[in-house]
């Protein structure tokens, strides 16, 4: 295996682990996990979770700081994720009345995960 392929494999494994940690963190806080790595025509949703009447489209980022995690998600990516969440909610009758929210769950080495609901309010 060449170095580039090996780096990619390590990155994918790290991403899966981060998403598993994120889901566990959300479940402890009362969210029901509806899916992982959901591929939609608009975007891939890392974690889809529901609590009450909120459908959270959760982007999971593992970075050195929370600020770096927030900055790692571009405006275009946020818009695609919002459209993906809205589209999923519209197609599932059980989610039709949910408010769709875009959250960030940031993971940093040696720190507890940080869940930021509605991380990019309006932006």
Task: Please tell me the total count of domains within the chain.
Answer: 1
What pLDDT is recorded for position 123?
A: 57
Q: What is the pLDDT along the chain (123 residues), one digit of tens a residue?
A: 788 888 888 888 888 888 898 999 999 999 999 999 999 999 999 999 999 999 999 999 998 887 888 889 999 999 999 999 999 999 999 998 999 999 999 988 888 888 999 998 855
The whole-angstrom separation of Cα 56 and Cα 117 is 8
With contact defined as beta carbons under 8 Å apart, do 114 and 67 qualify? no
Q: CATH number, domain at 9? A: 3.40.1350.10
The whole-angstrom separation of Cα 63 and Cα 81 is 20
Residue-range definition of the domain harbouring residue 103? 3-116
Q: Which residue has the tokens 């009362």?
A: 30
The secondary structure of residue 105, as a DSSP letter, is E
What pLDDT is recorded for position 14?
A: 80
Residue 100 lies in a domain: yes
In this prediction the pTM is: 0.89
């Amino acid at each position: 295996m060449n170095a580039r392929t090996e780096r990619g494999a390590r990155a994918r494994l790290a991403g899966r682990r981060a998403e598993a940690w994120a889901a566990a963190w959300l479940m402890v806080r009362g969210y029901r996990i509806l899916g992982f790595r959901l591929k939609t025509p608009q975007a891939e949703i890392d974690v889809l979770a529901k609590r009450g009447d909120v459908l959270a489209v959760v982007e999971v980022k593992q970075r050195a700081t929370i600020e770096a995690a927030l900055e790692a998600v571009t405006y275009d990516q946020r818009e695609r994720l919002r459209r993906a969440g809205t589209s999923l909610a519209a197609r599932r009758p059980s989610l039709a009345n949910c408010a769709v929210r875009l959250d960030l769950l940031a993971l940093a080495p040696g720190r507890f995960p940080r869940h930021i609901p509605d991380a990019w309010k309006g932006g």
